[in-house]
Amino acid sequence: MLILDKPPGLAVHRGPRGGASLEDWLPALAMGRKRLPQPAHRLDADTAGCLVLGRTKPMLATLGALFAAGRAEKTYWAVVRGAPPQAAGTVDAPLLKRSTARDGWWMAVDPAGQPARTAWRVLGAAAGLTWLELRPRTGRTHQIRVHCAHLGCPILGDARYGGGEGRLHLLARAIALPLDPPRAAVAPPPPHMRAALAACGWA
């Protein structure tokens, strides 16, 4: 297996409109093996940080089972506009995919959607921004982005969900996998997040 620090702006899979993606780099990541490594989960193109790949079929199956069962412990950092209502808590809000011809698709909190839960806590704050640690308990598309907006504090740079223009301030900070032996990794904040994190107390 491999754990990569994926840069922001790089899609994991090649989209219908083309453009660069992690798939372009898989031959280089094979490191002599005939089989190309494959992602065990997904990150949004604009999300930086820890991405796990399996190098063999058995490992990819093992990793897929861990992620499907919610046993992969994922930790995210986000800088959000505004602040949540308290210092820590859990968002329990189901998500449903919606789309229109004009606006494309997005995820929305809807009782008819799939269950989605995210634990969060405040790590720091300054000047109308808050630094959050988030631990998703489910793995829905755009879950952290929508749940932050649902809390009233959209992620900085998340234009789709109310965070304004600019680069998305969301980092897949750490991953812990209950393998034998256990595996874990931590990703540093990408350059575009560092000023806002520092303002909120990160050093």
Beta bridge partners of 172: 49, 76
Q: Active site includes 44?
A: yes
Please state, as a whole number, how many other Cβ atoms lie within 10 Å of the Cβ of residue 100.
Answer: 8
> Residue 45's closest CA among 14, 76, 73?
14
Q: In degrees, to the nearest 5, what angle opens at C-alpha 96 toward C-alphas 93 and 99? A: 140
> Residue 42's closest CA among 18, 71, 6, 75?
6
Q: Rounded to whole angstroms, how far apart are CA atoms 67 and 90? A: 20
Catalytic residue among 44, 92, 103, 180: 44
Beta bridge partners of 2: 53
Q: Which are the catalytic amino acids?
A: 44
